[in-house]
A and B are shown apart, each in its own frame.
Chain A
Amino acid sequence: MDMANQARIKETAEKYGTDKVVVILGGAEAESAGLTAETVIAGDPTYAGPLTNVALGLPVYHIFELKDLIDPQVYEDQISMMEMVLNVEEIITEMSDIRSQYQDG
């Protein structure tokens, strides 16, 4: 997760409180989505950005996981094409794994 986005998430969470912020990802790959999820839950695993050693514990989801919450027409116009392109199942599995890893820990 790049430095500027880490800084923005940190700032937003501090301003509104970690119980009022949800992070929604649109990443194209399971591995990078997982790393981003890990960063906003447990801190930057690469020890490079503003979230190093900062465990915000934010709820984090990939947009594919929120399909049922989105207006079907908006989803159709904005996201349905990418469902055909990306490995949706792999991304959702990775996201679930990361979340359960930290919930259990």
Chain B
Amino acid sequence: MASEVTKGGSLVNFPVIRATAYVLVHAPDILMGHGTTITMERVKNPDSEYLKALPGHLRSFQEAVGYLPNQVYIGNAHPRQLTDHPSPWYQHPVEPRTQGRFGQILDQAEFYGLMKIADSFNLVELSAEFAASIKDKLPTANLSAKHFAQLDRTRDLQEIEEMVVSHQADGLYQDGQLVGCVREAHDTDPNLSAHVVFENLVCKASGVLALVNLLERFQIDPKEIDYIIETSEEAIGDMNQRGGGNLAKAIGEIGNCENASGADIRGFCAGPAHGILSAAALVRAGIFKNVVVLAGGSSAKLGMNSRDHVNKQMPVLEDMIGGYAILISENDGINPVIRTDIVGKHKIGSGSSPQAVIQAIVADPLERNGLKITDVDIFAPELQNPEITVPAGAGDVPLANYKMIGAMAVKRGELDKSELAQFTTSHGMTGFAPTQGHIPSGVPLLGVIREELLQGKIKRAMVIGKGSLFLGRMTDLFDGISLILEPNQGLSHGSELKLEDVKEQVRLILAEAMEQAAESLARR
């Protein structure tokens, strides 16, 4: 095991980021049926102009795949390429590659197949014709064979239609045509309604896709995984335990991680950062060697800002379900480390003004460790794609974060005010992540950060997760957590004593002492 030398000179084994994976699913029909902006409008104004115009603004799979921010998300382009790419990006497509260094983009039809495979209770029904059309396209490696066989259990399309018409099921549509459904799991429990089960299965299946990509791309044996932490925003459970959980184990089961246990961590958009922190702690404490932190995406958030996109004559860009998976392992002497001794947190007493938040999450942990804001080469705050948020009046979220971090550095005398604009580009990235709540929060840059730390391009990065807790109406507190990543100092620096070495040393000392004692006795 490698060790890192801290300021005090003591030796610490920090956990490492061993692998990262990012996946997207193009889901235009799911957007139409499950995006809450659309479903709410259908209840309130079923004949609205917006609803009539919406289908004309949906993207094809090819358009979605050739969209540069999506290519950045799966690792085929660097986030900085967005800065120089002509905008609007949706009018300037790039080569539409479904496979990337970090993951893949799946189309909706294949995703329905994955939902069926991920379904442990026969709630997803697909027509025979549709199931046959997608079966050969799905990835089989690292998917449980037992669950893959689910695709052979099909249902008559007429029966599917009847279930949808009688509201016992939510339809699965491909290009507007019914091809399957998700059945309700209980006839009166609202938490097991077809709608909720649908949402939860979307999250589960996209989480499975992220896990499978992580294991395959980094050639990791699923049996190595000890623990899984799931960090989405969905609540899994029936009416007696809404949010009871364990999507983590549910996902690990389909991904063949038979030696893993797991649990879910929730914290709105900051969930992934809390998950990574917990995983790092489990590894650092020696409880587990390999912990996967992951999440699938959200059907409810699809088309969240589509009203503004339609009004501004844009394509509806929120048609992607996101997912990610990160493997945190014991120190291997190679991969970048998570400095568990430099953690920032927004405390209950921190206050919620933006200044107080940046102070608590960014400035305080650095100051405690004798570092300046400018000592961090890359910050990874919320990374929402600005082309989605700016037309909706929400501004450029990552840029606003970089400006705040830079302004804090100016206030602290670590940066000159004239350097503020430069700081946002030199220490920041252009946003590229889909607006899927927990997905944009720091985590999407981990793939790039890991590589650049490995290549020696950067020396230090900070990942920041932030959450708006008021959404659940239990508190109006803000939340945030930050982590520092650094290059691994390597085994050559390691001087930690292994137990075997210690035993050997003790043996030698004892042997020497006994020899001396024997000699001394002999002399007498």
Binding site for B on A (CB under 8 A): 28-29, 31-32, 77-82, 84-85
Report the tally of A-B residue pairs with Cβ distances under 8 A: 40
How far does the alpha carbon of A31 sit from the alpha carbon of B392 in the complex, in Å? Answer: 11
Q: In the complex, what residues of B have CB within 8 A of residue A32's CB?
A: 393
CB distance from B402 to the nearest CB of A (A): 9
Of B287-295, B335-343, B403-411, the one touching chain A:
B403-411
Contact A29–B354 (Cβ < 8 Å): no
Contact A29–B355 (Cβ < 8 Å): no
Secondary structure at the B interface, as helix, strand, loop or mixed, is helix
Binding site for A on B (CB under 8 A): 351, 353-356, 358, 393, 395, 400, 403-404, 406-408, 410-411, 417, 420
Whether A85 contacts B395 in the complex (CB less than 8 A), given A77-B355, A78-B355, A78-B356, comes out as no
Contact B393–A82 (Cβ < 8 Å): no
The residue of chain A having its C-beta at the shortest distance from the C-beta of B473 within the complex is A4
How far does the alpha carbon of A45 sit from the alpha carbon of B79 in the complex, in Å? Answer: 38
Secondary structure at the A interface, as helix, strand, loop or mixed, is helix
How far does the alpha carbon of A28 sit from the alpha carbon of B389 in the complex, in Å? Answer: 14
Contact A84–B410 (Cβ < 8 Å): yes
Whether A29 contacts B395 in the complex (CB less than 8 A), given A79-B353, A80-B355, A84-B403, comes out as yes
Q: In the complex, what residues of B have CB within 8 A of residue A82's CB?
A: 353-355, 404, 407
Listed residue (A78, A80, A84) with the most chain B CB atoms within 10 angstroms of its CB? A84
Q: In the complex, what residues of A have CB within 8 A of residue B403's CB?
A: 84-85
Q: In the complex, what residues of A have CB within 8 A of residue B406's CB?
A: 84
Contact A85–B404 (Cβ < 8 Å): yes
Q: In the complex, what residues of A have CB within 8 A of residue B355's CB?
A: 77-82
User: Contact check: which of A28, A77, A78 meets B395 at CB < 8 Å?
Assistant: A28
CB distance from B109 to the nearest CB of A (A): 36
CB distance from A37 to the nearest CB of B (A): 15
Q: In the complex, what residues of A have CB within 8 A of residue B358's CB?
A: 81
Contact A85–B407 (Cβ < 8 Å): yes
How far does the alpha carbon of A84 sit from the alpha carbon of B410 in the complex, in Å? Answer: 9
Q: Besides A81-B354, A82-B355, A82-B407, 12 other CB < 8 A contacts?
A: A28-B395, A29-B393, A78-B351, A78-B355, A79-B353, A79-B355, A81-B358, A81-B404, A81-B411, A82-B404, A85-B354, A85-B400
Contact B400–A28 (Cβ < 8 Å): yes
The residue of chain A having its C-beta at the shortest distance from the C-beta of B412 within the complex is A81
7 nearest interchain CB pairs? Answer: A84-B407, A81-B355, A85-B403, A78-B353, A81-B407, A85-B407, A85-B404
